[in-house]
Structure 1
Amino acid sequence: MVIFEHPLNEKSRSYLRLEYIFGQIAKSRHLTASSDPEAFFKGILDLHELMERCEIRGDLTKDLEKHLESVNHWATIPGVDLNRIHLLQEQLSKFIYQLPRLSRITQTLKEDRFLSAVRQRFSIPGGLCSFDLPQLYFWLNLSEEEKAADCKRWLADFQPLIGALQLNLKLSRDSSHFNNEVAKNGFYQDNADNADMIRIKISPMLGFYPTVSGHKSRFAIRFLPHGDEQAQDIPFQIASC
């Protein structure tokens, strides 16, 4: 089964994009594959641009506070794992304290001369060649320790944000439940009151993928064929969170 996620508001759109960027950086930061440098620096530059355009710390703090209220309620239910509850309370409280106190979060990336040189060449097709960007070619031939130290320095200011975002999305996803539905002739629409995003689970064996339109609490899903399949009733599962 494949899970597709679609945000229903701009806040969740930013959350999912940041999660994708953080994942891209995490997978490529060790620079072991030939394609890793380009993926890593694209992730770093995308992270800087997105964080310059949107300020999510306020929304993220409010969402974590809501999760903390729910976790505090769970603690009153008999038979719950109190060790797990206390761990969540500590994690949520830590991020709620840290997020509003993060200042100039993109400053390190903005002021780094090496990253500025990479940024100028990145939009040029093939602009990361050694003759276009000898600084990058030199950096890639530094020791593993030196490169790891630079990567750690570039990402240090983002660590609380990364942890807070991952915890928020995990709790949101874990709180939702998938329900079985059928898209008649490939089309389905519904309400998702108080939801930030919908999650769609479908078998790739059916040969269809979902496209979603809508915002806030109203959405519509149309399943399109990957190949030559004809429109038909599509069984799938959906969750709102």
Structure 2
Amino acid sequence: MEHEPNDNESIVFEQPLNERVRTLMRLEHLFGQARFAMEGDTLWHSRLGVSTIGEILDLFSRGDLKTELIKELDRVTSLLRRLEERPGVDTDRLNHVIERCGTLHERLGQHTGQLGAALRQDDLLSNVMQRAGIAGGTCAFDLPRYHRWLSRPASARQHDLENWYASIDTVRDATETVLELLRDSAIPRECSARKGTYQRNLDKDTSYQLVRVELPADSSQYPEISGTKMFITIRFMEQSGTLDRPQQSTEDMRFVLQLCVL
């Protein structure tokens, strides 16, 4: 599930620092969108659920995501096992997480062929995906078969959506697990930005994967985060209205920073 603030007092902005985490966060966003679509009963919810399948399959086609996830689970498991002998570690919780990673590794290994292959072979979905790149291309007159499916009772449409997404639920679970562990890896630190700018050199021997910035929910600023292996820069921006161009804040301000790495 896409990460959201767990209270109404703050908002969290995130910036991935490598392509693997960027892809996982995009998948997390799409799976959250899918969850919303399946909870609704209108044809627009169902349309969203189907179009989201197309976006997920597009991400699946970019590189070998299955291998990447398996490697990440292996790497995380190895790191967690090194913690077993440390004093003060909650071994029950640690073993539970290690077991969960092992189960996901096994489930991913059982997938044969390309991720989402069964979805690509579904004739209705394939028909819709072929038109999805055309503006307004999934209208009823373009896809009468799709129109007929959308006219079915909500329970029948939801049943089909659940079956389609069930075929890729292992990818969803592995994605959410890796990102949850990554977000939990960092200790929040209160920092100050002078005249709306914050820069920080990073340890060259630590490959940080994710930057998280937390601001009060009522703050008028938002951060633009950029980073490399060596440093990060955060510029706090303000925009008085949607028609106005954003401007960098000139205020000194405090925020909470997390540098996440597994």
TM-score, normalised to structure 2, is 0.82
Shift of 1:116: 1.9
Corresponding residue for residue 73 of structure 2: 64
Report the secondary structure of 1:29's partner residue: helix
Aligned residue among 191, 196, 204 for 2:209: 196
Q: Partners in 2 of 1:33 and 1:5 — Cα distance? A: 32
Report the secondary structure of 2:53's partner residue: helix
Corresponding residue for residue 170 of structure 1: 180
Task: Say yes or no: does 1:233 pair with 2:252.
Answer: yes
Q: Partners in 1 of 2:229 and 2:19 — Cα distance? A: 9
Task: Say yes or no: does 1:184 pair with 2:194.
Answer: yes
Aligned residue among 198, 201, 212 for 2:225: 212
Report the secondary structure of 2:168's partner residue: helix
Corresponding residue for residue 223 of structure 1: 236
Residue identity over aligned pairs, in percent, reads: 29
Aligned partners of 1:7 and 1:197 also within 8 Å: yes
Q: Partners in 1 of 2:89 and 2:225 — Cα distance? A: 37
Root-mean-square deviation (Å) = 2.3
Shift of 1:87: 1.9
> Any stretches of 5+ residues in structure 2 without a counterpart?
1-9, 242-246
Task: Say yes or no: does 1:20 pair with 2:40.
Answer: no
Aligned pair count reads 241
Task: Say yes or no: does 1:91 pair with 2:100.
Answer: yes
Q: Does the C-alpha gap of structure 1 residues 15 and 216 become closer, same or farther in structure 2, counting only changes over 3 Å? A: farther
Aligned partners of 2:221 and 2:238 also within 8 Å: yes
Residue by residue over 1:148-204, the C-alpha shift from the partner in whole angstroms, topping out at 9 and shown as x without a partner, is 342233223312211111111111111111111111111112234321111111124
Corresponding residue for residue 5 of structure 1: 14
Corresponding residue for residue 58 of structure 2: 49
Name segments (4+ residues, structure 1) moved above 6 Å: none
Shift of 1:110: 1.7
Letter of the 1:235 counterpart: R
Report the secondary structure of 2:147's partner residue: helix
Q: Partners in 1 of 2:259 and 2:105 — Cα distance? A: 24
Aligned partners of 2:43 and 2:151 also within 8 Å: no
Shift of 1:76: 2.9
The structure with the largest helix share of the pair is 1
Report the secondary structure of 2:134's partner residue: coil
Corresponding residue for residue 122 of structure 1: 132
